[in-house]
Amino acid sequence: MRSSLPDFPWDALAPFGESARKHPLGIIDLSQGTPVDPTPEFIQSRFRESSNSPRYPVTAGTAELRDAIKSWAINHLGASGDFDVLPLIGSKELVAWLPTIVEAKKVLIPEVAYPTYNVGAIIGSAQAIPVPIDASAWPVADFAWINSPSNPTGQVHTDQEITEAIAWSRKNEAILVSDECYLDFGDSAHGRSLLSISEGNNKNLLAVHSLSKRSSMAGYRGALLIGDSNLISNIREFRKHAGMMVPLPVQNAMVVALGDEKHVQEQRDRYNNRRSLLAPALQRAGFTIEYSNAGLYIWCTRNEDAWTSVAWLAELGILATPGSFYGAKGASHIRVALTATDAQISDAVERIESAVK
């Protein structure tokens, strides 16, 4: 067992969860980015129809799924040039294992970031180097993550920022992976895929997408890798040996999910409506909202220690996440997830407003 893996940070939040649960009206858990809205029925139905599945699925994905991912990448992401695709068992496993698979030595990660980028570097015995978004200042390395819209900040990279990151990758012959699992959830800003900015030259470039949030399928574990054909071919070979294959009923459900954008638009409207209710209430309680232009989270600060903000909300029965979970620069921020029902979000707004009246 790797002794250097960090303690699972959620354990530190547990006492605040207990305190929030004591609220007479119960807890409103806004600490986790786990979808609560039902998986659309047409996706569930394709999954159920595929339940007779005696044979092993293939790592590369069925021809139907590969075609669905390719069309979606071209029509929806704006990918062009030569690229390949690969289904994943959710994107977290890729984030955790990719540095190991490609034998990365130095992994650049955003300085405020989803913690699994760091975990992946540790598992791969690579050095993780936190960097700002501006890639013109990045050091030499052989691997970098970008994440737009960001978890936890909801910040959206500009085209110029992505272009700089691509230039860094080309100059250093380094792998650049863009985690785009919130790309469909634009609000006041809409992000663009790395693959639409690469102008058809996808060497060393990969984009990761997930159906967990896009289609409320987190329990299915379905995600996609799109980009450099040579890299994907090597990653596919590794995954074949390691038994990393997506179950067939999930592959079939992914096909129909990728073929429909209407449910994604409805989901985006739900999250954006929740943000428009919760953000002003947090502002009235003295929080300054930063970024939060897209994605699933509100990133805010009251210029106090993150745990003080977490404790204040926990007394109202609301559980948020301290920004310190995402890097030292988040020490005075909190992340508030929009993954609660509309009724719970309205209830949270009422609780905050009555506390500051």
Ligand X SMILES: Cc1ncc(COP(=O)(O)O)c(C=O)c1O
Q: Which residues bind ligand X (CB under 6 A)?
A: 33, 90-92, 95, 114, 147, 151, 179, 181, 210, 212, 218, 223
The closest alpha carbon to 314, from 90, 29, 66, 117, belongs to: 29
CA atoms of 324 and 326, how far apart (whole Å): 5
CB of 23 to ligand X, least distance (A): 26
Closest separation between CB of residue 82 and ligand X, Å?
Answer: 25
Residue among 116 and 301 whose Cβ is closer to ligand X: 116
Cα–Cα distances (Å) from 135 to 143, 168, 247, in that order, read 12, 7, 38
Distances (CA, A) of 105 to 122, 125, 145, 175, 234: 10, 8, 14, 11, 17
Sign, Cα dihedral of 19, 22, 28, 34? positive
CB of 33 or CB of 57, closer to ligand X: 33
Distance CA 28, CA 41 (A): 26
Residue 245 Cβ vs ligand X, minimum distance, rounded to whole Å: 16
CB of 181 to ligand X, least distance (A): 5
CA distance 329 to 337: 19
85 SS3 class: strand
- Taking the complex as a whole, the smallest distance from the CB of residue 218 to ligand X amounts, in Å, to 5
- 218 vs 282, which CB is nearer to ligand X? 218
> Of the two residues 123 and 355, which places its CB atom closer to ligand X in the complex?
123
Would you say 335 or 351 has its CB closer to ligand X?
335
CB of 215 vs ligand X, minimal distance in Å:
11
- The nearer residue to ligand X, 91 or 293, going by C-beta atoms, is 91
84 bridge partner residues: 227
